[in-house]
A = this chain, B = another copy of it.
């Protein structure tokens, strides 16, 4: 692990940590007068269920992107100015999630919220794709041992998810509920096991 490497991942990890932590601030404590607390508090808390789902979903989606970024960096051995900038773009897209997640938390059934959330996730995916394409193109910044099969597999996984998200955005114009379902199902696509040990994140302690 070199210093360059290290600082990029520290910055990116910091952003992920903050975004994941701030998502919970979308839950507002219900404010009730003392007389009504006992009768109303439980009901009020149950009303937060949709936000709870959106909280867990957004954390899981961010977890997926973090793992992708993490895995890509395991193959990246050099860092150049362009890669730094691609990482800044990545941060811009990731740091936008608290807004788009809050929007979908507030207006889950409305097209506009679904479109903004979807475009945000697609943007993150596209930057990750660009990150990988740039690093692996002509083996610019990655280890020579990296097989072309793995390179392609990463590309396909990211683009596959983005196609699903694109469909969700389009579908939201007709049936927002189906878009939400797609958002909930895409993580399962990512979590499914992979036959590539390296992709699966296994590593021995050096």
Question: Is B9 touching A15 in the complex (CB atoms < 8 A)?
Answer: no
* Shortest Cβ distance from residue A166 to the other chain B in the assembled complex, whole angstroms: 19
* Shortest Cβ distance from residue A171 to the other chain B in the assembled complex, whole angstroms: 17
Which residues of A in the span 1-30 have a Cβ within 8 Å of any Cβ on B?
1-7, 9-11, 13-25, 27, 29
Could you tell me the dominant secondary structure of chain A's interface residues?
helix
A135 within 8 A of B: no
Question: Is A203 touching B2 in the complex (CB atoms < 8 A)?
Answer: yes
Bound Cα distance A17, B77 (Å): 23
Question: Is A7 touching B18 in the complex (CB atoms < 8 A)?
Answer: no
A88 within 8 A of B: yes
The 8 A CB mask of A105-128 against B (1 = contact, 0 = none) is 011001111001000000000000
A185 within 8 A of B: no
A67 within 8 A of B: yes
Which residues of A in the span 127-180 have a Cβ within 8 Å of any Cβ on B?
none
Question: Is B37 touching A107 in the complex (CB atoms < 8 A)?
Answer: yes
A201 within 8 A of B: yes
Question: Is B15 touching A15 in the complex (CB atoms < 8 A)?
Answer: no
Question: Is A18 touching B16 in the complex (CB atoms < 8 A)?
Answer: no
* Shortest Cβ distance from residue A74 to the other chain B in the assembled complex, whole angstroms: 7
A35 within 8 A of B: no
A206 (CB) vs chain B CBs: closest residue = B2
Question: Is A17 touching B20 in the complex (CB atoms < 8 A)?
Answer: no
Chain B residues contacting A91 (CB-CB under 8 Å) are 17, 20, 59, 63
